[in-house]
Structure 1
Amino acid sequence: MASVRWGRAYGPQLSELTFVVNNDSRQVAWQLFVESVTRVSVQRLDDEDGLLREALTSLYGLFATTRETLKVSRPSTHVSVGMTVECLAVNFLNLELRPFLSRWHPRLRAFEEASPGRPETEWPLAADCRAELRLLQDNARHYLLAFARLAGVRDAEAMIDAPLGHCPRTVALPR
């Protein structure tokens, strides 16, 4: 078991964390990184692009997948100091995803039910929802970088921030 230090601030109170890492937690961290980095949790949704309904559905799916990944993995044992991948993931769910989804999912659903067939661009709260989605994405980025560090991912920031269709070149391919 090894420790990984993470000095980037995330969440409301923590500024430096020590993570406890073993092979099982590396695998869980990798799964959570892949699930998260491929969703709108960190990929920007510009004001004129995409649908909020799709974004909320994707985030709900991420919540369910993260919870399922944790349920089927073995918990870290013999941890006296440091944060585990499970603790980080639960914080991500309970401090970031759950509040956002609890706030915006019912509001969007109420608009959709009251205004069937109307585009969500006519939803009076759409701009507010998108603004909070951007905040969630900024916060989620810190969690994803922590998952990446736990999993041993190289160039995680480049993977997260790369324009669509681009991936950081880490291996020279034979010609």
Structure 2
Amino acid sequence: MNILHIDSSIQGDQSVTRSLSAAIVTHLRKHQPHAQVTYRDVAAAPLPQFSTDAFVTNSASASTRELAVALEEALAADVIVIGAPMYNFGVPSQLKSWLDALTIPGRTFRHSEQGVEGLLGDKRIIVASARGGFYGPESPMAALEHQESHLRALFGFLGVTRLDVVSAEGVRISPERADVAMRQAMAQVDQLQAA
């Protein structure tokens, strides 16, 4: 099994999603000890902004090569674990740049007479999500949730049918609420299927 581990939080050691994504990878490796892990921290080493260079297959620019490496890492992975905090109702811009590097016509999706066909159907995605407040379907803030919904929509477009979310909500309400959220999220990690 090849695991691609992506972190995108700017919070460093204080990051909830970094703790959760690391716990997820540890859980997977406990059941698949020979799994190979590739790690990419898009907050510490952001990818270049998406540009038309990404579509020029013979471009030799450093930006194009870096985006191509990110795409190849994702294509080589069986499981992609993504630490995705909610910033300003959506995903961090650094994570958005990584998602843009993945969404390439002819590589991860294609157009046909039947419509768009996603090409990543064999991938499993596990998102480690954290939100300062409450944005679930029953919340008054639900209409402002563009983090998990964005990831589900994009990976669905790319053909992914196996997407799990481990979520810690309300982590900025109070230290007590953060503790409860982390315990609940870690229980979700323990319930993840290993394969």
TM-score by shorter chain over 0.5: no
TM bracket (short chain) = under 0.3
TM-score relative to the length of structure 1 = 0.24
Bigger relative contact order, structure 1 or 2 (CA pairs below 8 A, ≥6 apart): 1
Structure 1 or 2: more helix by fraction: 1
TM-score relative to the length of structure 2 = 0.22
